[in-house]
Structure 1
Amino acid sequence: MTRIPHETSGEPNPLQALTLDQLRRRTSMKWRTYPEDVLPVWVAEMDVPLAEPVARAVTDALHLGDTGYPAGTAYAEALAAFAEKRWNWDGLAVERTAIVPDVMLGVVEMLKLVTGYGDAVVVNPPVYPPFYHFVEHMDRRVVEAPLGADGRIDLGVLEETFRQAMAGGGQAAYLLCSPHNPTGTVHTAEELSAVAALAERHGVRVVADEIHAPLVIGGTDFVPYLSVPGAERGLSLMSASKAWNLAGLKAALAIAGPGAGADLARMPEEVGHGPSHIGVIAHTAALRDGGAWLDALLSGLDAGRRLLADLLAEHLPAIRYRPGDATYLAWLDCRALGLGDDPADAFLHHGRVALNSGLPFGTGGAGHVRFNLATSPQVVTEAVRRMATALE
């Protein structure tokens, strides 16, 4: 499966459209959690204006008073068309989809369909912290299968973990992060096929969080989990929220493989009441008409990765950074700096720059920080300068 590389769209880089003063007027989590003297490069919000097709669709709906409950399959149809164009995947069946409030609440609902109380949910740390929080809150137990030293899925470790997860009876699920947050790893078709084979062999159900799927660098293949052989009983969650910065416009899609349609059909009808109708309109417009904007963003993020690597090499050479092939998140190994298990704390208090601590990401997170690259080159440069200042 070949992803169509992003092209030069002619659109301006959205990461360079807003000034720091404009960003500080925002009232969302990224900009209001810390005092104004702190530079935030942490939570997964992008410092971009809304894509014009999205803004137009939302504005038109508001002018019309179209603010009722969501209905129809326009979102799923837009995602299916996007998947075929971008990933050469024509297997997204609209009839095997359902709208859910957002990806993590969708994950919860999918896990409820395939596991019971006390059952195991396997994750690959270091991984997105809500994987732990949401799973434990729903009275399932998290079982870790850490990534390998190369940042990729260790299939031997995964198989042994599957055995352990199923050893006590009951059911088990594998919560797959694809592309992986925080490392930016893009799983290959071969890796995902091997995962599907292991899951079927051991009776483990796969639920794939694919929220970062549109944020893959040109030249790298994104492979939807449900597209690989053996994944017919899998479930996937997708959304336009990360790629178009729509976290505040709640909507996502649950997608079932051919062998999981009956499972998805058991999802309670009221779950579909949770998404925002305006959110569905925004996500649909992004997928349908926001391709040029996305391509400009991807080019900007690619430049941001190179800039961060150059700045770290110059100012903080002890930090190890392996640029990922997806997401706008950089996973930085700061263990050589001697700042202990939580270097984000030192950067915050001594450099006045906010990054995500690696500790909540599970095994392998100690001594690491996550850096949000979805901002201007000026902010990236200033953030690294402040990080270096924290060591003085």
Structure 2
Amino acid sequence: MSEHTIPQAPVGAGRTDPLVRVSLAELRRRGSAKWRAHPEDVLPLWVAEMDVPLAPPVAEAVHRAVDLGDTGYAYGTAYAEALAAFASARWGWDGLRVPDTALVPDVMLGVVEVLRLVTDPGDAVVVCPPVYPPFYAFVAHDGRRVLEAPLGPDLRMDLGALEEAFVRTGARGRRAAFLLSNPHNPTGVVHTRTELEAVAALARRHGVRVVADEIHAPLVLSGARFTPYLSVPGAEDGFCLMSASKAWNLAGLKAALAVAGPEAAGDLRRLPEEVGHGPSHVGVQAHTAAFRDAGDWLDSLLTGLDANRALLGALVGEHLPGIGHVPPEGTYLAWLDCTGLGLHDDTPLDGPGVVTEVEGPARLFLDRARVALSSGHVFGTGGAGCVRLNFATSPAILTEALVRMGRALGEKPGAEG
């Protein structure tokens, strides 16, 4: 389908945020996974890339590095210093100590390296599904066992289920960890301070080490507030992983930080020196500039995401009335409950964490609507029959996608009308 089929007005008219600054024709020129994994007639709302231009301070940092030929090995603490200042200004968290950080190639590889510090092969790692599929894949590939503590019906952590899983981890006297998604991917839930304090207390009681993936931390929308896990009492022996990659769209510029609580700093110092060779030096400069200099750009983005969140809710109500939708509190990801369509199997053959498969409603929307979404079954228990939708795109593309999806449901075999 041509870009001329996407309306440019009045949807989003008057907006100036980053989500309205790149045309579909320009997006189609990109070579990243989002825009190359499907044919050109498909609107891609699946993988977590945003349809935005680079923030000017980040672009300037990258151009400066290229102009200087500054493309060697990463060095120094500027990234950690920028993140510490950002955390203090945005979240009121002054506990991020630069000496208790380590450069890692990206958040998930950092997660694996931290889990290696506090668990052994065969030990259990608890997750709360439906949750980010690589949690399963990376943990399993590193020889750890995944234990599930499913979210409750309200899509928030079920503390009873979590404690039950923690008890199960210690049944054989082994070490264990809890891999926390904060904010939660794919539901967009932003965990409250009270919830995180309860998690820390449970983890202490059962000797479980918490590793928090906080990659979406800067992307908390109006009505919610982000709480860093390491800022709550009891979390002193935990870790978090952070980067600018989601909030400033820098997935292709690899660099992240592992941060240790005061009681975990000794563990982090055991991280192999060669892990620090993985981050891109240009990536480090880009992420540093994002946290240090691109706050105004982020604020504009958040304004646009707020508007898109409201638009999505209205579009779901108008075009997908049989599909459940709880507006996310953070991230730019929406979780749509399509189980009423009867297109899912509660026991998918490939199991959770298989990110290459498209099944159930995601298959319907891809084949009939030419809209690419993330298939819910790969997110683990509770994911079958759901889809994840990335709404970090222009309001025009978002509108066209939801119109197509509604039309596809009307054309579904057996549908009335």
Name the TM-score class by shorter chain: over 0.9
Which one-letter code corresponds to 2:261 in the other structure?
A: G
Counterpart Cα distance in 2 of 1:255 and 1:48: 28
Match of 2:8 in 1: none
Counterpart Cα distance in 2 of 1:274 and 1:389: 46
Counterpart Cα distance in 1 of 2:391 and 2:15: 19
Contact 2:377 2:386 in 1 (8 A): yes
Which one-letter code corresponds to 1:159 in the other structure?
A: E
Match of 1:45 in 2: 49
Counterpart Cα distance in 1 of 2:70 and 2:159: 48
Contact 1:11 1:292 in 2 (8 A): no
Task: Return the offset for 1:227.
Answer: 0.3
Match of 2:379 in 1: 361
Task: Return the offset for 1:389.
Answer: 2.1
1:122 corresponds to 2:140 = no
Pick from 320, 328, 331 the counterpart of residue 327 of structure 1: 331
Structure 2 SS opposite 1:15: helix
Which one-letter code corresponds to 2:206 in the other structure?
A: H
Match of 1:370 in 2: 388
Pick from 299, 306, 309 the counterpart of residue 303 of structure 2: 299
Structure 2 SS opposite 1:390: helix
1:208 corresponds to 2:226 = no
Which one-letter code corresponds to 1:344 in the other structure?
A: A
Match of 2:110 in 1: 106
Report Cα offsets for 1:254-304 as digits up to 9, x if no partner. Answer: 000000000000000000000000000000000001101000100100110
Figure out how many residues of one structure are paired with residues of the other and give that number. Answer: 383
Structure 2 SS opposite 1:167: coil
Match of 2:83 in 1: 79
Counterpart Cα distance in 2 of 1:322 and 1:218: 15
Contact 1:319 1:332 in 2 (8 A): yes
Match of 2:249 in 1: 245
Structure 2 counterparts to residues 171-210 of structure 1, below 5 A: 171-210=175-214
Counterpart Cα distance in 2 of 1:40 and 1:348: 9
Structure 1 SS opposite 2:334: strand
Counterpart Cα distance in 2 of 1:140 and 1:31: 34
Structure 2 counterparts to residues 1-392 of structure 1, below 5 A: 12-341=16-345, 342-391=360-409, 392=411
Contact 1:46 1:375 in 2 (8 A): yes
Structure 2 SS opposite 1:122: strand
Contact 2:42 2:371 in 1 (8 A): yes
Structure 2 SS opposite 1:207: strand
Task: Return the offset for 1:315.
Answer: 1.0
Structure 1 SS opposite 2:220: coil
Which one-letter code corresponds to 1:370 in the other structure?
A: R
Which one-letter code corresponds to 2:263 in the other structure?
A: G
Report Cα offsets for 1:190-249 as digits up to 9, x if no partner. Answer: 111110111011000000000000000134211000000000000110000000000000
Counterpart Cα distance in 2 of 1:150 and 1:332: 13
TM-score by length of 2: 0.91
Structure 1 SS opposite 2:167: helix
Match of 2:351 in 1: none
Counterpart Cα distance in 2 of 1:131 and 1:68: 31
Task: Return the offset for 1:337.
Answer: 2.4
Report Cα offsets for 1:133-161 as digits up to 9, x if no partner. Answer: 00000000100000111111111111111
Which one-letter code corresponds to 2:160 in the other structure?
A: G
Identify which range, 161-170 or 116-125, moves more after superposition: 161-170
Percent identity over paired residues: 70
Structure 2 SS opposite 1:18: coil
Match of 1:7 in 2: none
Task: Return the offset for 1:169.
Answer: 1.6
Task: Return the offset for 1:338.
Answer: 3.0
Task: Return the offset for 1:19.
Answer: 0.6
Contact 1:122 1:145 in 2 (8 A): yes
Report Cα offsets for 1:329-362 as digits up to 9, x if no partner. Answer: 0000011223334200010011111000000000
Identify which range, 10-19 or 301-310, moves more after superposition: 10-19
Q: Structure 2 regions of 5+ residues with no counterpart?
A: 1-13, 346-359, 412-417
Contact 2:222 2:306 in 1 (8 A): no
Which one-letter code corresponds to 1:87 in the other structure?
A: W
Contact 2:223 2:329 in 1 (8 A): no
Counterpart Cα distance in 1 of 2:228 and 2:322: 36
Report Cα offsets for 1:308-341 as digits up to 9, x if no partner. Answer: 1101111110111101110000000011223334
Q: Structure 1 regions of 5+ residues with no counterpart?
A: 1-9
Task: Return the offset for 1:55.
Answer: 0.2
Which one-letter code corresponds to 1:389 in the other structure?
A: R
TM-score by length of 1: 0.96
Counterpart Cα distance in 2 of 1:54 and 1:211: 18
Task: Return the offset for 1:11.
Answer: 9.7
Contact 1:180 1:186 in 2 (8 A): yes
CA RMSD of aligned residues (A): 1.1
Task: Return the offset for 1:386.
Answer: 1.4
